[in-house]
Amino acid sequence: MMNWKKVVLSVISIGTAACVCTACGLVPKKKNTATNGEDMVISIWRQGGTPVAGYENDENKPGYAELASTLKEELGVTLKYTTPTAGQEQQQFNLLLASRDLPDIVSFWWYDVPGGPQKAINDGYIYPMDESFLKENAPNFLQLLKENPVYEKGCKTDKGDYFIFPKFFDYKGEQAINLYTNGYMMREDWLQELGLEIPETIEDWHTVLTAFKEKKGAKAPLTGTQLTRGFEGAFGFRADFYHDDNVVKYGYYEDGYRDYLTTLNQWYNEGLLDKNIANMDSKMVNAQMLSGESGAFWGWLGSGMGTLMKAAPDEKYSLMGVPAPASDKGNKPEYNEVANPVYGSGAIINGKSKHPELAAKVLDFGYSQKGHMLANFGVEGEAYQMEDGYPKYTNKIMQNEEGLSMTDALTVYTGKIATTGAFREDYRYIQQYYNLPQQQEAQKAWMNGNGINHLMPTVSYTEEENSEKSKIMSEVKNYVEEMNMKFITGVEPLSNFDNFRAELKNLGIERAIELTQKAYDRYLTR
Amino acid sequence: MNEAITADRGMRVAKKKKDRYIWRLVYDIKNHKMVYCMLLPVILYYLIFHYVPMYGAIIAFQNYNPADGILGSQWVGLANFIEFFGSRIFSRVLVNTLRISLTTLIFSFPAPIILALLLNELKNKIFTRTTQTITYLPHFISLVVICGMIKDFTTEDGIITQICALLGMAPQNMLNNPNLFVPIYVVSDIWQGIGWGSIVYLAALTGIDQSLYEAARIDGAGKFRQVWNITLPGIVPTIIVMLILRMGSLLSVGYEKIILLYNPLTYEVADVISSYVYRRGLEDFAWSFSTAVGLFNSVINGILIFGTNMISRKINNTSIW
């Protein structure tokens, strides 16, 4: 009778003890037996991206296998990956910081790390590098920096330390297409049917949208998830922080913002703007664009145009990218939407790493000729063929027989050390990725503008500046977002615009601009 | 003299009582080792996962920096609290929280009780069960899906807007109208929780002595009288306990539903403490600040739950502890 009780008792006690011990980390973890003495192991923490069915393990991906064997051959290094759970990257990154036990390489949004990159260096999270270190251990990376001052400035702190191996975009001339992947799109067939020109100015847009409403029966001619993007250029400012000839400005604090609101409010009242504009998501936008409820929208090339063209209801249905409106006819759009050539994320070497040199060599591989091709195109003969010096994806990528989408096929067949860092994204990849003629035309349309001259680069703040600015901006952002919608929908009359400006001033916007200006000045002298 | 004796006796009684309690506990443990062993995992669970982490709340008084750890971060005293109370947004989020919370309490707390009373009166078992199952269902749907449905139904040509239009309301995107946010929030809350919430009351109803109804019928009480004088008093203890527990979360309006439903046009009525904490803590990384706000929230909730419990114990001898 007592026996089963004893069994239960011991099971519970042992179970509890085990739980407690593991919870407190009392049980020493087993040493990783994979280290066999000769090979060095470099541990990497990086975002995994969307897993591909059948290829969840890195080892099964041909691209990754090639990367691993090349690194082993050339550097005698084995990579050991940790991948955060998809969707919880930010939380797990925060935990990683709190644990103070980072792997050798961590790839994440380091530019936005709380307190800024300089603080992360001071705290010992990031290993700062000087030029001689890079010359020795990352020559390919250094060469790329020296050839492209824009890249170099983006990888340095104000003190002059190199700290990150980011993802770069091609940005010169025609190659800059990587930077233009979102903007306004319109029903091309409607334009042709109504005999309208591609709109250039705000007045043109008004004509086109009115025609869409009256002649095509569109209930909400203009829609989108982020309405304000791109339009403000015609009114002489850009949303958020930007600079005019190195003078930092905050768009919503500029005079042009009043005219902008007046126009959009008028459009809203005329029924040219979607009445549901305040709570649209991309699914709803796509649905409206397909059903003909809307004729123009702001969106992305892939999830917007690509998805819509695939789902097109009939053969006539066609979309085109239209440039952001300019202030006057014949002018180039001054503030068109453009991405930064230095992506916001990248790989850093842990400040406490035992092998910073080796880690730098591993990361440098991504910028070498071999690593560059592997990261962008995969293995030659398998994922791409050279045709007249142009790496052309094979059908394994373009029309995968296993049924993988192009995005998934690229994940499987290319080999990157980290998906969000330590390589340069080739424009020839984008050229083939957005392969619809409409998509390529759209990029050309969006590229035509001076937006890149006003772009705010990744500046960095001191610890005090950072906490002061983020305190101000957390209130300002929320307030602007709220008032913007209220002015457009007319809930708040435009006569209150001066009060809005006064409140912004009250919240400290001028101080925030001043801080940004300081940081930008330091960036310029890097 | 007399007083001293009484006091002395009182102390002795108290001491004796205490002795007795400890002695009783030791005795009890000796006699029921197994039971206490089975309790152990639960106690440890609460200690390790609920009490130990509480020391992390001290970052509310610091300028927390993960690199320096909880013990090494700079001590700033009440600065985070002062920043919160002094901020432009403080009165707004507090008022919104209270408004949403109290409206929910008034309308959505009694709803399951009424449903349970109605179901209790039904004689057709099949109909009762079908109704119960249908009212449970929304509870099992993910909140994200629920909010997606609410958004779809309340657009300018959504089904709910259309129904309201038939009743004379101007067709509009209902979620863009600040006056409609709280009603939408509360009504959907009732819809989502009414069936699930009624389970506990239905269980309490089965415990009422049937002979009381019989006696009431003989005395000539009608249906309504029976409900008022027998059924309701029968489940009052359950209602009170549920109410006390509900009071404990008066200041915590869940941020998930708010964030899924609000938009810039309704910030002024929809922004609550928890959604503000979410924005500051998880989007701006102001860990210490959001911990301070969270701590303030917990303290108020704690006071409310103790207060309600005490009042309830004084008035009708029903309390949680």
ipTM confidence: 0.72
Question: Total structural domains in chain B?
Answer: 2
Q: pLDDT for A506-524, tens place per residue?
A: 999 999 999 999 999 999 9
Q: pLDDT for A63-117, tens place per residue?
A: 989 999 999 999 999 989 888 887 788 888 888 888 888 999 999 999 888 888 8
Do A155 and A247 fall into the same domain? Answer: no
Q: Domain range spanning residue B194?
A: 88-316
Do A132 and A49 fall into the same domain? Answer: yes
Give me the amino acid identity at A401.
Answer: E
Which residues from B are below 8 Å from A when comparing CB atoms? 33-34, 37-38, 40-41, 44, 48, 65-69, 83, 87-89, 151, 155-156, 172-173, 175-176, 263-265, 267-268, 279-280, 282, 284-287
More confident residue, A498 or B71: A498
Say if A387 falls within a structural domain: yes
Query: Helix (H, G, I), strand (E, B), or coil: what is residue A339?
Result: coil
Separation of alpha carbons B305 and B314, rounded Å: 14
The closest CB to that of B66, out of A8, A97, A279, belongs to A97
Which residues from A are below 8 Å from B when comparing CB atoms? 5, 8-9, 12-13, 15-16, 19-20, 23-24, 90, 94, 97-98, 100, 114-115, 120, 123-125, 275-276, 278-279, 470-471, 474-475, 478, 481-486, 489, 491, 507
Read off the pLDDT band of A260 (50, 70, 90).
Answer: very high
Read off the pLDDT band of B277 (50, 70, 90).
Answer: confident
Do B282 and A90 lie within an 8 Å CB cutoff? yes
Do B121 and B6 fall into the same domain? Answer: no
Do A189 and A320 fall into the same domain? Answer: yes
Mean pLDDT of B3-31: 69
Question: Total structural domains in chain A?
Answer: 2
Inter-helix orientation angle B33-46/A2-24, to 10°: 20
Do A485 and B263 lie within an 8 Å CB cutoff? yes
Q: Domain range spanning residue A350?
A: 40-175+340-425
- Tell me the CATH number at B155: 1.10.3720.10
Contact (CB, 8 A) for B267 and B96: no
Do B70 and B101 fall into the same domain? Answer: no
Do A457 and A387 fall into the same domain? Answer: no
Residue B253 predicted with pLDDT over 90 = no
Distances (CA, A) of A421 to A89, A143, A220, A365, A367: 15, 17, 40, 12, 10
Q: How far is CA A247 from the centre of its chain?
A: 25
Do A279 and B285 lie within an 8 Å CB cutoff? no
In terms of C-beta distances under 8 Å and separation of at least 24 residues, what long-range contacts does A228-232 make, across chains too?
Answer: A228/A484, A229/A182, A229/A298, A229/A337, A230/A183, A230/A184, A230/A298, A230/A324, A230/A325, A230/A336, A230/A337, A231/A260, A231/A264, A231/A324, A231/A325, A232/A256, A232/A257, A232/A260, A232/A335
Do A325 and A464 fall into the same domain? Answer: yes
Contact (CB, 8 A) for B60 and B288: yes
Percentage, residues of chain B above pLDDT 90: 33
DSSP state of A85: P
Instruction: Enumerate the residues of chain A whose CB falls inside 8 A of the CB of residue B87.
Output: 475
Q: pLDDT for A155-212, tens place per residue?
A: 998 888 999 999 999 998 888 998 999 999 999 999 999 999 999 999 999 999 999 9
Instruction: Enumerate the residues of chain A whose CB falls inside 8 A of the CB of residue B286.
Output: 470-471, 474
Do B131 and B39 fall into the same domain? Answer: no
Do A206 and A232 fall into the same domain? Answer: yes
The closest CB to that of B34, out of A9, A470, A478, belongs to A9
Say if B80 falls within a structural domain: no
Please tell me which residue of chain B has the smallest CA distance to A277.
B176
pLDDT of residue A202: 92
Read off the pLDDT band of A21 (50, 70, 90).
Answer: very low
Q: What global pTM score does this model have? A: 0.80
